Structure 1
Amino acid sequence: MKKKKSFKKNSLNIIGGKFKRKKINIKHSNELRPTKNFIRETLFNWLKKYIYNSKCLDCFSGSGILGIESISRNAKLVTALEINKKHVQYIKKNLKKLKIKKMKVIHANTVKWLYKKKFQYDIIFLDPPYNNNYLLKKSIFLLEKKKWIKKNGIIYIEKKRNKKKIIIPKNWIIKKKKKTKKIEYKIYLKK
């Protein structure tokens, strides 16, 4: 009996906008967990009326796919934060290949970066590594405390389904939510 080869996909499809059906290359690692196609499709359907000309912050960029999907749908600019240097290099190569100039990739620890107030964003993507609840809690706290989100801005949170409660600021109103067996994802509107 032949042993089944394990196959890891080395690319992701962009699912909408001007780069629809184009591929980006990714570097596989244990920490990398790109948002699945069907979740991205749902997310960007939710964001349809908010994304045009928006300023977006992708806090745990990983593959960079959420930022690239945003630019593909005419976001004005994206700031992508990523701690893994190899992932940063892959994102930059993909941006060059697609000739995207409106996305800035920063090699940084997101939590440390969020301590420095720079400017406000319309949409913030918060999809930290699933096994690290601290990163999610601390990021939410800093996004609110340092006023990173514009009034009526959108916050997207994707996390592993578990019983651990995450405290959400009272002025973040849930707009949409869905879950799978393993993941829950929501968008909030900041009042």
Structure 2
Amino acid sequence: MENIYANDFDISPPQNDTFLDVNRSQLQNEVGMIHRIQVIQNVANQLRRAEEVAEDQPPRWFQNWLTDENAFPSRMETRFNRMETRFNRMETRFNRMDMRNTKTENIQLRSMGFPINIVPFLGGTQPDDDLPEIRSVKDIDGLTRDQCARYLDGYGIRFNFNESIKMKERLRDALGLISVYDLSHHFSGFN
């Protein structure tokens, strides 16, 4: 009879809690909860007091910053320089994105047989007015060596000035002229 509640895992059988035990555990939980609430309220009161004190005076780092006469202009100049550098980088990235978007648009236009749009230079400007407009591979084939080199420089493409057909092919690719017709066009050398 003594092994009636024994099992393979040596786990004691469940016991029925008395009403007093249940009440005691509930009271202990309530006391613990009240204690936690008091701790939170104390922390909140401390933070309120710290804010009230802080309202009377500016933070110490700000006071130090204002009292050092040389620090203010140099720090501001440093920050402005950093901001200008960041803006320049952002502008360069936007210009590259604009160039790539126009190139992608040109690829789609050429696949449907339409002439291309003018691709802005890497600096964000349009090609110079004295450069002929390029709307097709035939326009590229009519460029002089100097005009082709100016276009390639504007698009930030490396090239060898002694090449002729390769320069035109690089310009063709940079503008998005990569339809079957454009790729099958055989460029002539420079005049």
What is the TM-score normalised by the length of structure 2?
0.22
Flag the structure with larger Rg: 2
Name the structure with the higher helix share. Answer: 2
TM-score normalised by the chain length of structure 1: 0.22
